[in-house]
Amino acid sequence: MKIAITARVAFTPVEAIENAVVIVEDGRILSVGPRSAIEIPTGAHFIELGDSILSPGFIEIHIHGGAGHDLMDLSRDGLARFERHLTNYGVTSYCPTTVTAPLDVTFKALGWLTEAKSFTSDRSRAKPLGLHLEGPFLSHAKRGVHPPENLLEPSPEMFEKFWQAAQGNVAMMTIAPELPGALATIKLAASRNVCVSLGHSNATLQETKLGIDSGGSHATHTFNAMRALDHREPGILGEVLYNDNVSADIIADGVHVHPEMVSLFLRAKGRDNAVLITDALSATGMGDGKFRLGAFEVEVKGDRCTANGILAGSVLTLDRAVRNIRKFTSWPLQHVIQLATLNPARALGHKDIGLISPGAKADFVVLNSDGEVQRTILGDFIE
């Protein structure tokens, strides 16, 4: 059955289509345009969204958990609750993200998260795009809360072990390019279409350039767990902010990065190269208290999550990150939406999500003019 979705405006997000209609069939977009230009198929089922904004579904590429569930260790039911929790905030696709842990724990988590994709036929949940390995190839100097005893020097051989444990289901990897063995590991991962993200790094400018030349194409939570910017040694931050061939993500919760620095980041990376992430923990949506991140405990007070006094992830949601950018900057909502939809899809190499275009998956989030989520629509579960 063909479905016609109408809205006051659709942000594709590269353009704004007023009085929009989107025709969907079998979970894919057939056509999109102003109602005056689109022929409505006979017998189509209408979903009329009135004065709302239709956006592509949000894409979360760095998340550790939520709704009380940690992605390193959860049940089938826990995964289902977590993925439904994501749709409350407009997220339709995500990358389950690991945290540095003993190898046996990491291998088990990779295997579990890969198998979990086939556990259920429930189509009302956010869908995993592939795993994000955050660790263990991180700098001791910039490890954040990642346990130092579990950090490893990167090597193609060790990456291959992770790859096999995940059955090739690795979409993204954070790595410090200055570590011995990092460049060869980056080359191997990039050759397998993994988005290699430079982060948790004390790299100099030259070491960063070598990491990019080897296949690094992205940067993890810019400013956090990175060598500080210096006018004589710009380091990793200087290259990430300057290089237009590198996309970069940021945690826009007002805690990890000052709003003025978020604005600076957006000026440097622009509309096409900036990505919003949450780095969210199991504590997200749960209020204050003590929660788990992998094997260690995190204390949450308001928007601040700490372990032994060090920032440890967030309780940010992606829809709130979108609204925060509007508070921090003068960017219009359409431009901000691109940072949570098309840009993360491009970073991962996906061409059929993150946009409203013929052939793309019919995953949408319905917003009001303030960027608040009214409804999430999954293409293979349109009621």
Task: Identify which of 145, 131, 276, 144 has the alpha carbon closest to the alpha carbon of residue 189.
Answer: 131
Kindly report the length of the chain.
383
- Integer CA distances (angstroms), 351 to 36, 133, 215, 238, 378, in order: 27, 22, 20, 29, 17
Handedness of CA 261, 323, 59, 254 (dihedral sign): positive
Helical ranges in the chain per DSSP H: 76-87, 103-116, 156-165, 182-191, 205-213, 235-242, 259-273, 318-328, 333-338, 342-348
Cα(19)–Cα(16) distance, rounded to whole angstroms?
A: 10
Question: Parallel, antiparallel, or unpaired for β 131-134 and 195-198?
Answer: unpaired
Q: Is 77 a catalytic residue?
A: no
Edge-to-edge strand ranges of the sheet holding 304-307: 289-293, 296-301, 304-307, 310-311
Going 194 to 117 to 374 to 361, the CA torsion angle's sign is positive
Angstrom distance (rounded) from CA 55 to CA 363: 9
Q: Residue 145 has what DSSP assignment?
A: T
Q: Which of 70, 249, 279, 363 is catalytic?
A: 279
Could you list the active site residues?
279
